[in-house]
Structure 1
Amino acid sequence: MPISRARFMRSSALFLLIGLVALLAIVGATFWLAQRSEGISDTLTQWRIARAATVNLRNSLQLVETSQRGFLLTDDAQYLEPYEREVGRIAPLYGRLAATVQPLLGDRVDVSRFETAITAKLEEMARTIELARTGRKDEAIALVRTNEGKELMDEAQAFFAQTIEAADAQSLQGLTTQASNFSALRIVTLVGGAVILLVVGGSVWTALVYTREIMQARGEVEALNVGLESRIQERTQDLLRANEEVQRFAYIVTHDLRAPLVNIMGFTAELDTTMKTIQNYVLAEPGKASENDAKEAKLAAQEDLPEAIGFIRSSTKKMDGLINAILKISREGRRPLKPEPIDVKSMLENTLASIQHQIIEDDGEATLDVAVPRIVSDRMSLEQIVGNLLDNAVKYSAKDRPLRLRLKAERKPGNRFTLSVEDNGRGIAEQDHERVFDLFRRAGTQDKAGEGIGLAHVRTLTRSLGGDISVTSEFGRGSTFTVELPLDLRTVVRSEV
């Protein structure tokens, strides 16, 4: 069925409206998900503050009780120093705890009853200390043996445990909700991209059909009586106006639908160029179209158009890959860690063996220098960290010299150790030292395949283990990535990391 001008305009308006609706849907959904994520983040922050206040008060109360019992057992006044230092902090710590916990727990916990228990416990400790100071140690010990203080402390510990458990549960729930946000964002992006692809495809099909109709109309004009000059001029004016409408329509599609999917709309410019090639042949004056014009128009219709659409699909697939990369890092932050004893030297040897063939192919060599005891950590995370760093060292080795790798592990003060991967590769410019850890950011010449998520993933894994990663590098000479971690992962409270 021939496409009239009115139908073409209606089709164009319909496609533009569908594209606009898809764009608004993507923007609206993205804004809503961002607002939702912000709310979740605020709630998680409040719970972490409440958890920290709970832990601080619990530690202070336990220190006071330990100091009291040490004094009663030894009569040594030095044991009272922690008591005298901490007892004055308990009231402010309780006030901070009540101000943060009460709005979060509501009626689930009677905070005032907890205050009564703490007050009674402090009074009990003060009485026993005073009795001991006045030489009535037996009475003080008898008061302790009544278990009144133990019952009060048990009640306080139950409150602490309940609050910490609630905070941890809320943190896990918040992380789960954040992951669902990323999944929803991916679905919205894919559906929106599919709709826009359909809009672009429908627009191209309509333009091609309309152009074919114009070509048929020109043939009819040529078949008319040569003496009907006025009719020919009228039809020519119609064709010129139609050409302007097609060009204006192509501009609207390539301009107004660019915002949500920049890469996709970049390739629609190819569609616009292809349309002009076809129009140059279709709209040429009778008899003036060359064989080259016809050949280019045919080539454009058969090859250029399908190629551009293929690029658009490829861009959509690329976006899905980036979203999956984010989800990968998000899920890694929620993966339960499994602390286990690890022989660092053996672990490094096994990981190094997996890339040994690549090192040998480049006439390179690798050395190990391990001076740490067995550690307790999550083996999978450690292997991924080292594996990523070794892969990068091999991947970005210098072309003018054999690769030299050095893996070093040494113990540090504070029950921590460092693990460093040193190479003599390309190196990283000073201004890019921090940038390389950002998601989807890469430094230097981009002649290797990759999306810029490896080091961001390594930083996420390192921080989940209670550590951090840093880099020292000189451009053109090599790099050293240093990971600092605790010797025992069980000493790290993951929700606070």
Structure 2
Amino acid sequence: MTSTAAFYRSSLIMLAIGVLVLLGIVGSSIWLVRANNNYSEETASLRRVRSSIVGLLTTVQDAETGQRGFLLSNDLSYLAPYDKALQELPQRRKALVDNVSPLPSYAAQLDALNTAVEGKLLELSTTVALAKEAKLPEAVAIVRDDAGREYMDKVRSILGNFLEQTDDRLRVLVQAQLSAASNLQWVTIGGAVAILIVLGGAILIIVQHVRDLQAATDEVEFLNVGLEARVRERTEEVIRANQEIQRFAYIVTHDLRAPLVNIMGFLSELDTAMKSVTTYILADDKSPTEEEIREARQAVEEDLPEALGFIRSSTRKMDSLINAILKISRDGRRKLQPERIDLKSLLETAAANVQHQVSESDGAVDIRVRAGAVITDRFSLEQIFGNLFDNAVKYQLQGRPLALEIDAYPDGSGRVRIDFKDNGRGIGPQHLERVFELFRRAGEQDQRGEGIGLAHVRSLIRNLGGDITVESELDQGSTFILTLPSDLTKIVRSMES
């Protein structure tokens, strides 16, 4: 629980942070506003400079236009633009000088500009006067001279340079103003967010200080509920495991007891046969009767070989059953080694191992994988796929081409489902669960086997944190449904913890 001293200390820290943020916002805003004002003032000044440049250039061009019209038409009405330009020109020149004189890069070219303007005005006034005196050829000759054109080109060049400098600087200023405005906006937004964060932090500290005791109580209750759920889950697992053990123990004792009963029964027959042989062999003082000879001969020729054969067959059966149990036990104790596995590649490899058998019946295997890679134990998955492919080939329906379809796809969060569907003999409804029991087989027993394949598959898949079920219909085929976690490492970590 947060102490009172810690509460006051946290509150003071949040208050200090809030004051610093506020000072930062105010300082940044003042600086950005001043910068923006400076940019605005300079922009207004440059706009006045630009207006005076354009005004002077336009006035000189209007004067030249009026002069050219008068010379071409000899009509005094064309002198209206010329006369107006001459009236405005002094004011235009003064406005330009006033605006650009404080700017060194402009002021340095003012003398050259004045010289060019004066020269152009002299050329214009001379030609207009000659035309008015009916000396048009002399006026045209002056126009055709390069002096007037050179003055006008000089005026255009200098004023054009002024305009270019002005526009370049205006673009820089506009960009700077936009940047300053954007920065001011972000400073304001950032400051507001920071203040809200500080305010929220302060509120959280206060709320946390008040609610600590309730939070501790809630946490204890939550842990109790979680503990009960975990205990219930573990209890269910123990019950299920115990049922599996009991079922396994019954199967083992039942199937191992049968060969032992056979051995004991045929040992009794062997003992009976040995008595007949012993009587015949140990007959010292009298010749054996015909009945004793017949019984001894029957024991040697029939009873003894039959008993020994059944004993040998029973012991071989017991050895096979014990080896099967050891195999499942070894696989259960083997340390799992999770790795990233491409399901499509692994399924194609398993299918290739039975491809020649499938081809003999003109069958086909169709593999469809819609799930990504899984992280699981490769050896176990290879064993599972191999058993299911072998079973599909072993129990196909005679006279019908084997069609085997495998479909792998996501099955909820963190799990993958793989369907093995065949068109084989199928399984009766009363045997759907029996086929997964150890030493249990269903249907016609015309194939070699001890009944451990599917039991082995179930043991392997459950060891990977998954399960297997089957849906089937006699003479129509079966679908074995595998589900397993997409990441075995999570299951392993959970079991280790």
Normalised by the length of structure 2, the TM-score is 0.48
Normalised by the length of structure 1, the TM-score is 0.48
